[in-house]
Structure 1
């Protein structure tokens, strides 16, 4: 059993809380569903994360809920939120609902569902919002290790209840568009000169010649003050779309000589240990 101060990702408790998804029964509740959306849902439901024995401080772990739903024309969309402008960190950013692991949470799914209920009022009823899969963790720029939990919202009668001190706005974005460089929506004339997709390469760590590629996608709402989808949120959504549709993105995913996630997590873990040791001096 792991130390109470650390968790291993992917969490080893996945087996007990992931019943076999009755895909035919669930998708029968959706009035219009394109074949590519059906295949995407099936691929995500069949996905099993690669097990990596990564040890990381529990207080530096979080989970986000990737809540997918089917639009009127049968395409898949994801729910995204604009963080409140009064928050101390990442104010106004576009994000997935989620947050830090609580000591009572048994696994990443519990964390993600609890946070999504607290932030946007998304039902925790698994018959209305069944689990599709849990992905490998992603390291955020602030050193927090984030586990994405992918679910499918079946009940179109569910209505969001925003926790306004945390969430300013809730909106959706086409899942397939995270693999494309073309805008999925008509752009506001004031935003025409900005590309839908862009990227920047940032140093792996201070003084390192190696880079990490950060991806940016416009939301179509920038003229109204909504920030682009970027950083770890963009990285997670690219991964979800790639697994679901079985396609590589139209753009280069990684910078030349970009370190893998394991190396990045190990470096961040060692930095945490050094910081803790320095604080004790």
Structure 2
């Protein structure tokens, strides 16, 4: 496995090893035509090259682990975080965590965290890589890269680290493109909408950001909905894989792209600037957010231009 570290300090997350994956030769059970196309699309996806350099100390990864359900549809594994954790206790999440010096790539970060949290094997034949997405910016000042894999071994059984994970469940991937639930609502939930969103002021960049929420169908048992960064990541994975936009508007009016938001943080956020300088990266050489293109369509092409990039100005001192 080749490292994604560029020359010098910092991570270049757009560079990673690409294994040969052929959905037609893989030992996968019966697939719907839509699921087959989705897997093929994800396996051939390449993120746009990024001009940004990220400090390793502020980098993290999550594993989007897909598997094929009984009816040939694709599902994603989700966990309910332990209620004893200091941060995001009880939240619905994807396995993942911060980069560590022993990780040779951001993919290995995601795989290591999934192994530690839910016991997902590190065996690349059982869990091959499909693709690595462009990174997202978390509210706790981390640059989070989603790593998408496909679980081929149906005999695998989770081994939960109870200190971090209370339970594990799954949700249909295609359901992140729909406003209607993929399951019948329980009586006490009939008045709740499956998908909702709220536009909030970002604590990382100027302007508003759309926060999505999806019901899991397990709320009556205490499981929290899928929301925030986890929901945004899964909307992106589903949009790329199925090659279509959701039946709702995923962004707030004038919302900057994730790359533009990360560029703003790298240039102006004191936490990121300190981390960059510690790793020999000059934060003032980060491209201006306004100069970065909008590549938010499922095919990676420029979607309609969005207004509001003027909001990406440095905060007044």
In the superposition, the TM-score normalised over structure 2's length comes to 0.81
Determine if contact 2:91/2:224 at 8 Å carries over to the other structure.
Answer: yes
Q: 1:119 aligns with which of 111, 117, 126?
A: 117
Q: 1:180 aligns with which of 172, 178, 181?
A: 178
Aligned counterpart, 1:21? 21
Alignment of 1:8 with 2:12, yes or no, is yes
Determine if contact 2:23/2:36 at 8 Å carries over to the other structure.
Answer: no
CA gap 1:207/1:138 in 2 versus in 1, 3 angstroms: closer
Higher strand share: 1
Determine if contact 1:9/1:51 at 8 Å carries over to the other structure.
Answer: no
Alignment of 1:108 with 2:106, yes or no, is yes
User: Offset at 1:56?
Assistant: 2.3
Aligned counterpart, 1:231? 228
CA displacement, residues 81-135 of structure 1 (integer Å, 9 cap, x when unaligned): 0000000111111000011011111111101111100000001111111110000
Return 139-148 or 170-179, whichever deviates more: 139-148
> Which segments of 5 or more consecutive residues in structure 1 lack a partner in the other structure?
none
Determine if contact 2:265/2:272 at 8 Å carries over to the other structure.
Answer: no
In the superposition, the TM-score normalised over structure 1's length comes to 0.91
Q: Quote the Cα distance in structure 2 between the aligned partners of 1:211 and 1:43.
A: 31
Determine if contact 1:197/1:217 at 8 Å carries over to the other structure.
Answer: yes
Determine if contact 1:2/1:8 at 8 Å carries over to the other structure.
Answer: no
Determine if contact 2:136/2:259 at 8 Å carries over to the other structure.
Answer: no
Q: Quote the Cα distance in structure 2 between the aligned partners of 1:207 and 1:153.
A: 36
Aligned counterpart, 1:197? 195
Aligned counterpart, 1:76? 74
> Which segments of 5 or more consecutive residues in structure 2 lack a partner in the other structure?
1-5, 276-317
Q: Quote the Cα distance in structure 2 between the aligned partners of 1:18 and 1:262.
A: 22
RMSD: 1.7
Alignment of 1:262 with 2:259, yes or no, is yes
Determine if contact 1:178/1:241 at 8 Å carries over to the other structure.
Answer: yes
CA gap 1:79/1:273 in 2 versus in 1, 3 angstroms: closer
Secondary structure of residue in 1 paired with 2:11? strand
CA displacement, residues 4-24 of structure 1 (integer Å, 9 cap, x when unaligned): 4x22232x2x1xx32211221
Q: Quote the Cα distance in structure 2 between the aligned partners of 1:205 and 1:226.
A: 26
